[in-house]
Amino acid sequence: MSTPAQAAAAGPASIKKVYEKEKAKVGGLWHTHIAAVDATGALKPIVEDDADHVTYGYSVQKLAVATAVMDKIDRGLLTLGTKLDLQADIILGGSGIYHLHRVWGDEITVANFLTAMLLVSDNTAVRMCGRVAPALEINEILAAKGFVHTRVEPVANPNRFFLGTTTPREMHDLLWRLATKTLLKPESCDFLLSITRWINGYHDGVRRVMSSKERERVATKYGADFNDLGESRHEAGIMFSADGAPLLTYAMFAEGLGDPENYGATHPAVQAHAKIGRTMFDNLPAAPATTARTAVPRTLPKPFHPVSGG
């Protein structure tokens, strides 16, 4: 019969074992930070695999871009209702929805393009963000929040940028502060979490083998691209208890992978994310008994109900 200490250690050990197994199977270069709360509510690392490596975050960086825009909203320089025109010459292909419209010129709110950027990883939305928060200002905001390596990459046009770099540890920090409502004002954190937890978001990786109710307990952001090393497949997020307490963060960055141009669920690294994700969820710690509801802010998603129109 196991002791309470052995039982408490079994969950993290299972997560680490599955992570190592999947990493070895997939190959490539992995840079990962996974952490979960202990009985006191303190975060304890489960996997620290080259967690301070500076890497291209690709679309995971959209979390940092959204953070900078929301910081300006918190300071009264913008509102979620601020409108910009969706210009034809700003449209980018790749992931997203705006390039599918075929006609442009709409006036859309900041809330609209932030939702598109985080829910369906819209690339045009990044350019819309650059119109309200230029590259250098985004980097200044991130630096002021204590991030050393999480940066966008400026280009000649001050309102445009490449998505830039981060580290697994810094992305873990961003996620944990988002979940505990210390990254931004609580209502701003709730807005970003409501998008990244919504069940219409990305399902190929960590959330693949989960029910809709389970998916609502996971806020996640995926990123995929390629560089000279090979393919990159990243995913970072937060898992919550059923009553909204943040329990676990993950930031998995894998590069130097094979299977080029496969951005679907069958990519080996994405399949690995699904297995690791199911293992993490099945081994979530209990919410700390010593944590009062008023001590750690909790976030419950709006329940999903199908609607047939009308």
Burial of 43 (0-12, 13-18, 19+ CB in 10 A): middle
**Residue-level pLDDT at 303:** 76
Look at residue 64 and tell me if it is in a domain. Answer: no
Looking at the domain assignment, is residue 89 inside a domain? no
The SS3 call for residue 75 is coil
In a domain, 65, yes or no: no
With a cut of 90, say whether residue 302 has pLDDT above it. no
pLDDT digits (tens, 9 = 90+) for 9-44: 678 999 999 999 999 999 999 999 999 999 999 999
221-242 b/e (C-beta count within 10 Å ≥ 16 → b) = bbbbbbeeebbbbbbbbbbbbe
Does 87 map to a domain?
no
pLDDT at res. 47: 98
pLDDT at position 294 is: 47
The CATH number given to whatever domain includes residue 229 is 3.40.710.10
Domain containing residue 277: 12-53+167-282
| Residue 226 β-bridge partners | 231
Residues 289-302, mean pLDDT to the nearest whole number: 63
pTM, rounded to two decimals: 0.93
Q: Can you tell me the mean pLDDT for 263-269?
A: 98
User: Contact, 105 vs 85, CB < 8 A?
Assistant: yes
Average pLDDT of the segment spanning 267-289: 96
Residue 177 lies in a domain: yes
Residue 278 within any structural domain of the chain: yes
**Predicted pLDDT at 304:** 77
pLDDT of 3? 46
DSSP secondary structure letters along 243-292: TS-EEEEEEEEEEEE-STT--STTSHHHHHHHHHHHHHHHTPPPPPTT--
CA distances 263 to 55, 77, 203, 259, 298, Å, are: 19, 37, 12, 9, 33
Statement: residue 90 has pLDDT above 50: yes
Is 247 inside any structural domain? yes
The predicted pLDDT at position 8 comes to: 57
120 Cβ contact list (under 8 Å, min separation 6): 95, 96, 97, 201
Domain count along the chain: 1
Provide the percentage of residues in the chain whose pLDDT is more than 90: 88
Query: Average pLDDT in the 165-184 region?
Result: 97
Q: What is the mean pLDDT of the chain?
A: 94
**Predicted local confidence at residue 295, as pLDDT:** 61
Q: Is residue 37 part of a domain?
A: yes
pLDDT of residue 308: 74
Q: How many CA atoms lie within 13 A of 88 on its CB side?
A: 4
Residue 163 has pLDDT above 50, yes or no: yes
Tell me how far apart the alpha carbons of residues 166 and 148 are, in angstroms, rounded to a whole number: 8
- pLDDT at residue 9, as a whole number: 66
